[in-house]
Chain A
Amino acid sequence: MTPGLQTTNRVDRSRSHRVLRWLLVRLGGAAFVLWAVATLTFFAIRLIPGDPAEAVLGGPGSQASQETLDQVRRDYGLDLPLGVQYLNALGRLLTGDLGTSYALKVPVADLLSAQLGGTLILAFSALLVAWASALALSLWSTGGGRIAGSVGQAIELTAAALPHFWLATVLIAIFSSALGWLPPVSTGGVLGLILPTVTLAIPLAGFLAQVMRETMLDTLDAPFIVSARARGESEGGIRLRHALRHASLPAISLSGWALGYLISGAVVVETIFARPGLGRTLLQAVTLRDVPIVTGVVLLVALVYIVMTILTDAASRLADPRLRTAEGER
């Protein structure tokens, strides 16, 4: 860092400039991502077979008459050239209008606001459980000797490789059918949240624990740990106070990605556990070619992902002072 000789005032200003610039770059990036997502979705859903006008008319295989089809195409602007349709859709999105569902005939915004809560609760509880298990697992596997290390590694690898649908089925078979402890399908209460949360959390915990353990092992060999040991710090203290902070850094920055991963996992988990949410809404909308809902869900998920990325970025900057200074020199 160069401005070592300048006054405190100038340092403050240049720091706030850097924060502002960081924020502007993020927001610009976010706007670009949202535009790209909207554009890609718009064209992608028209590349797969199926006529959106049929979504209006009760799904594929409709036997609607020509006049009904024409009427629907006019009403929904589906008779216009694709470019015009795209600009219209973009114009509506800019004013914050997500449109009306073709199949359900209700505003997309209402539908999504009703479904977002369920998915976010599921995703965040899974993230929390995954974080806690990954932390516990990596602390144990790095501190418990060679056997703990390899057992930990095996658990991580296995957990990370488990597919959600398999895990869900096995968990239901064990905890609902065999033991009768937990309800197999959602109840609206906390009990019904446990199995879906665990299903989503186990593979994620495997990923996070792998990253944490590797960083932790690297860090434990670092010179400042050696000096901490030399100062007579206890082994537990070293790992909790020093190594853990380092080990959590990559995991923090992975959390943005993790949330995206969890929301996509929600498609499977919500379906199996019969939970209302964005995942199930998306699945139904794609099957029916309900373009407004698909666009709405994809944009919303992109938005959640962007917000999460900005938050994890900010959290990394808080946890790691090196990031705050390095940015100014770029």
Chain B
Amino acid sequence: MHSPSRRPARRALTAIAAASGLALLLTGCQPATESASSTPVAGGTLTYASGDAEPTCLDPHVGGNYPQALLAGQFLDSLVSRNSEGEIIPWLATKWSVSDDGLTWDFTLKDDVSFTDGTPFDADAVKVNVEHLKDPATESSTGYLALGKVESVTAISDTVAQFTLNAPDSALLESLSMPWLAIESPAGIARGMEENCQAPIGTGPFVVDDWVKQDHVSLVRNEDYNSPPADAQHDGKAYLEAIEWRFIPDSASRYAALQAGQVDILDNAQPDTIAAAEKTTTLAHIDAPRPGASNRIELNAGAAPFNDPAVREAFIRAVDVNDGIESLFFGSAKRSYSPLSSAESVGYSDESLFTTDLDAANALLDTAGWTARDADGFRVKDGERLTLDFPVSTNQSIPAEQSLFEQIQATAKQAGFDVQLSLLDLSSWYGVLAENDYDLVSAPYTKVGPDVLRILYHSDGIVPAPSGYFANLSQVSDPQLDDLLTRASEISDDAERADLYEQAQKIILEGFHILPLYDQQNHFLLGTQVKGARSLPTVSTPTFYDTWLANN
């Protein structure tokens, strides 16, 4: 009778002892297992742990979000890719040319590629894919927008696909490099949405074998693969036999599973686990910031109080961002002073605009008429408190970022700003934005190339889509900026394009429309047995074509 009684007590004691030693044990080192050779070994199954949401449809044409892109890169190829220098390189298309008026593009295609269902890859397949993306019934969002200027595609021959545009598009190649516009088998598309969502068919190095909802997607090797992008490290089929793609939403469990060897690689690594992993010799870290915009706080210039540039500047001068980033991200995130990601070669930074200066902030607010302070120390004008509504999406802002926003809230208070943070789920957050009920917001935007600036800062972006969504959340409306962005999106010369984008970025930064924080964070942790894994320089999704497992 007494023996079972002691067990809980003993268990509790063990728990207390173990928990107190936890920090040490978690970071404890194990001897490294260095592989003797660096020659790739074929075979084995890679287990991937994704912390992103499980896609609702594996076809990235439908909707078009990042979780879909992560998976699609394993079984779909695109027409073109991008190398680590930011240059567009051949993939399924070997070369391309554009007419002088910029309205006609000819893509020459690889002539020996087949989809994994046996359908040949040719110019007709490209035409079917573009039509699929542009068909409202496909319910495409990302791909549909990216093809906005494409009127039609004609198959000139089996290996030449001609794109006809209604306006010049300097971002066309960048758009086509994105996984949301990857090429699928026409026969696969013809099966209809329900079937195509379960297992889209591509030309990629792996094939979707099975999708067990809420658990995993099984991918097996495409034994006939012959269409890697130009910057791949080898030819022919992939080294790995299979990939088990698991969905593990909790960051701590994901990391524990990596430590226990249950998984080989994980995404969405959080700052604390990155710091822990960097102290080990058995784990490696891939830092792959997403392209497009940086992570930044937008100041809504469309309504009071931020319709006054002085108040915008005062806010930016008042808040202290660097200390927060340093302490909360353990050095895993580098401060940005640009609207664009560091992955974009034309990104322009100006650190001098973002130095913290509380006195300057106070002076600016005094001049702007916010002279009085209420009992709580917040500034008041005409009986109105200087309140800033800051809706935060718990789906898009990681815990470290949410804490950073709290620190920003605290430092802004010193200048008399009353920042009201509200944590919301994704639907509610979009709802608040659609109702224009915000002063500050942080909304990531992933896209290949600087054309993201046109989406985010052209005044057209203030007009809401039928769902209420609009991309220009800082509500910048500046004819000069609009003109620069439109011209940049049509110009063919790279140097002129870069110059126009630099001028545009200056206007955004000097108008104090945004507070850049850091690149859109995208970290992978992997066991050192995983060799040759890298992120594609398009939207920074991992690719496992060149990957092999040592000691498998």
Contacts and interface: CB of A to CB of B under 8 A. Distances in A.
B32 interface: no
Nearest to A180: B260
Contacts of B141: 57-58, 62-64
A178 B212 CA distance: 30
Most chain A CB within a 10 A radius of its CB, from B144, B253, B259, B465: B253
B246 interface: yes
Most chain A CB within a 10 A radius of its CB, from B4, B8, B259: B8
A178 B25 contact: yes
Interface stretch (B16-24, B518-526, B533-541): B16-24
A176 B260 contact: yes
Given A63-B145, A176-B259, 20 more contacts: A48-B428, A49-B427, A51-B467, A56-B139, A59-B56, A59-B63, A62-B141, A63-B469, A136-B4, A152-B5, A155-B8, A174-B14, A174-B22, A176-B260, A183-B257, A184-B262, A187-B262, A273-B253, A274-B249, A288-B427
A270 B253 CA distance: 11
A71 B8 contact: no
Interface in A111-149: 111, 114-115, 133, 136-137, 139-141, 143-144, 148
A236 interface: yes
A274 B465 contact: no
B19 A170 contact: yes
Interface stretch (A102-110, A211-219, A250-258, A295-303): A102-110
Interface string B462-498: 0001110100000000000000000000000000000
B395 interface: yes
A58 B62 contact: yes
B214 A183 contact: no
A174 B15 contact: yes
Interface of A: 48-51, 53-54, 56-69, 71-72, 103-106, 111, 114-115, 133, 136-137, 139-141, 143-144, 148, 151-152, 155, 158, 168-170, 172-174, 176-180, 183-187, 236, 270-274, 276-277, 280-281, 284, 286-289
Nearest to A105: B194
Interface string B228-239: 000000000000
Interface in B421-444: 425-432
Contacts of B429: 60
A49 B428 contact: yes
A274 B247 contact: yes
A106 B194 contact: yes
A258 to B, nearest CB: 19
23 contacts: A48-B428, A50-B430, A51-B467, A53-B467, A58-B62, A60-B431, A67-B136, A105-B56, A155-B9, A168-B253, A169-B252, A170-B15, A176-B260, A177-B26, A178-B21, A183-B260, A184-B260, A184-B262, A185-B263, A274-B253, A276-B212, A284-B53, A287-B427
Which range contains the number of B residues in contact with the other chain? Answer: 35 or more
B1 interface: yes
Contacts of A277: 214
A104 B194 CA distance: 8
Contacts of B5: 136-137, 140-141, 144, 148, 152
B139 A57 contact: yes
B22 A173 contact: yes
Given A59-B56, A63-B141, A184 B257 contact: yes
Contacts of A50: 427-428, 430-431
A59 B21 CA distance: 43
Most chain A CB within a 10 A radius of its CB, from B2, B65, B250, B427: B427
B396 to A, nearest CB: 10
